[in-house]
Structure formats: C-alpha cells, structure tokens
Amino acid sequence: MRYEDTPPYILLRKFVLTMPRVKNALRRWARLTDRMPELLRTQALSSIEHKAFHCLGGSIYAHYPGVDRDTMICLIVAFQTLSDYLDNLCDRLQISDPDAFRLLHTSFTDALKPNAPLRDYYRLYPYKEDIYLPRLVRTCQDLITKIPHFPKVQATALDLAGNYCELQTLKHVSQEGEDLLKEWLSASSNLGLRWYEWAAACGSTLGIFLLFAVGYNPPEIEEKELIQAYFPWIQGLHILLDYLIDLGEDKENGDLNFVAFYPTEEERDLSLCRFANESKRLAKHLPNPRFHSTVVEGLIALYGSDPKVRVQKQEVVIQSMANSGRSLFWLKLCKGLRSIHVI
C-alpha cells in the first residue's frame, strides 16, 4: 500500500503506540537532572513535566515515510526538550538579559551542527551547570549524523532555528519585548499578516522536525519550497493555537500572548480560521500530502480538545477551524484520548 493510500487511522494507531517510547525517553532526561544544581534542576523538570505534550505531538514526524523511527523519536525528544528547557530559563527566573538569552540559544543552533564544538552557553547567565544542556546538544548532534541527507536541508533548518532563537530572545526582554519584536518583524509584512502572527510562526519547531524527516529521502522539490507551507502557515497555526488555549492563564500571570493582540475576538477568530484553511490547502500540495493534512488536522484536534477550550468558551472557533467531517472526527477522537489520559 502506498503511503498516500494509507487510512489516517493507521497513522494515528502508530502514533499512539509510540507514545510510551516518547515518555520513556523523557524519563531518561529527567533522571539526568539529579546531578544539576537545584534551581536549574527545577526548571529542567518543570519543562519536562508541563511541556511533555510538545514531544508527544512532535513525534508524529517519526512516522514520516522512510525515516528511522527510533532515531527520530530520540532526536525529536532531545531537540524539543532542549527548546522547552531554554524557554523556562528565559521565562521563569526573573532574568531579562538579551545577551544571556542569545548566548543560551546558540545551543539550539549548535544542536543542528554535528561538527560544532560545545560552548559555555551559561557564560552570561547567573546560573550554571555542565551536564544537562551540553548533553542535550551533543545528543542532537550525534543523532543528526544518522540522517543521511541532512546536509542538504541543514541551511533551511538553521534559518528556521535562527528565527526561533531571535523570537525567544526578544520576547523575554521584560517591558521592551513587544517593541523589539515589532521592530524585528516590521519587514515581514507580506501575505497580509500582522507582526504577532509572524512572531507566532517563528515559535514552532515543526518545520525543523519536517526537515529531519525529509533528510532521509529528500523530495524532488526544493526544501525552501517545501517549507513555505510550514512557515508561516502551519507553524503559525501551531503556535496561535497554543496561545489561544493559554489566554486565560497568561493574562493572570501577566505573560506575553500573541493571540491577545488581536483587536477583537471576531478578528481573532477570522484570522485563526484563515491559518487553518491555508494550512489545509497547502498541505494537499506537498509530497506525502495525507501525512501533512493529518498533521494540520491533528493540531486543531490536539489543542481544540484541551479542557481550557471549554472553560474559556472557545468551542465555536475550534469547530470553525475544524470545519470538515474528518477534522471534526479527529477533534472528537482527541477528546476521547484525553479522557483516558493517553494524551
């Protein structure tokens, strides 16, 4: 059976069956934190405990046609855990030094360069350790060497990673973050997108996961053409959904939330539906279109099934984003999987 003919439920079954392996990989990283200073250990464990669903969701790319599943699961977990840990370091310890954040995030780009030497990533940061962050970087580097054609897509992966690092650096600079982001993204105004929509698109790792996957068997189209569906559309959809369900708690904690910048709820909902519809349309024109369509539908279902959607009365916009029988099926299915604590 060709992949394009594979029913989506088979992909879902494979995805669910590998979730225990993702959780086992996260537990291995959690055990490594025992040797860290307490303050950094707390942030490492918190990122694993509260953001494990990032790794669980990203592991769908371990089922992309032609990849080595074991390598991909380990790589996605290590790379996403690195990302989530860095986010906590910039967000949870009342530090707002952009130079420290930028140096910390060189670990994110170094992780994509198998031959890059490790640096003193904590040099400008007030807390330090020499076990956890270096091990995450080195593990990613070692696993990437097992992807035969990654050098062909590495430059595009580093472009996406550069956007991600700059976003994470600027958005955590206390009161100046919003102005710095606006200035940085002022040149990204094509496609009729607002600055905070571009910022959201920069904050996703899905495009990098895709490039890991296609590094096993590069498609005939250029990787930049391939990634245009992901950046800004699918990545933007991903992060806007993430911020949508966190609106309430971000407001309570005074945290920056890109979805909160929409002038009205009506404009917000129209824009979210645009991201959903454009992502679905572009996914159909990519190699292995059913895979990418399932990713888009899965994003809407995964976030749309979160209990916070009901609490914040966001069901209508989620239903509008799903807007088709198959997407609504995924949404109902994810609610069921949440009810039995699979996700």
Cα 122 from Cα 149, distance rounded (Å): 32
User: What pLDDT, on the 0 to 100 scale, is given for residue 310?
Assistant: 93
Q: Do residues 172 and 125 make contact, with C-beta atoms less than 8 angstroms apart?
A: no
User: What pLDDT, on the 0 to 100 scale, is given for residue 176?
Assistant: 76
Orientation angle between helical segments 315-322 and 325-339, nearest 10 degrees = 130
Cα 54 from Cα 41, distance rounded (Å): 19
Give how far Cα 121 sits from Cα of 80, 108, 216, 223, Å: 17, 10, 30, 30
User: What pLDDT, on the 0 to 100 scale, is given for residue 8?
Assistant: 65
Cα 100 from Cα 91, distance rounded (Å): 12
User: Around Cβ 25, how many Cβ atoms within 10 Å?
Assistant: 19
User: What pLDDT, on the 0 to 100 scale, is given for residue 327?
Assistant: 82
Cα 209 from Cα 144, distance rounded (Å): 11
Question: pLDDT digit string (tens) for 312-334?
Answer: 999 999 999 998 778 888 888 88
Looking up tokens 């054609």 gives: 149
User: What pLDDT, on the 0 to 100 scale, is given for residue 3?
Assistant: 47
Question: pLDDT digit string (tens) for 117-165?
Answer: 999 999 999 999 999 999 999 999 999 999 999 999 999 999 999 999 9
Question: Of 189, 209, 208, 214, which is closest to residue 199 (Cα–Cα)?
Answer: 189
Q: Do residues 261 and 233 make contact, with C-beta atoms less than 8 angstroms apart?
A: no
Tell me which H or E stretch contains 49: helix 38-50
User: What pLDDT, on the 0 to 100 scale, is given for residue 5?
Assistant: 47
Low-confidence ranges of the chain (pLDDT < 50): 1-3, 5
User: What pLDDT, on the 0 to 100 scale, is given for residue 223?
Assistant: 72
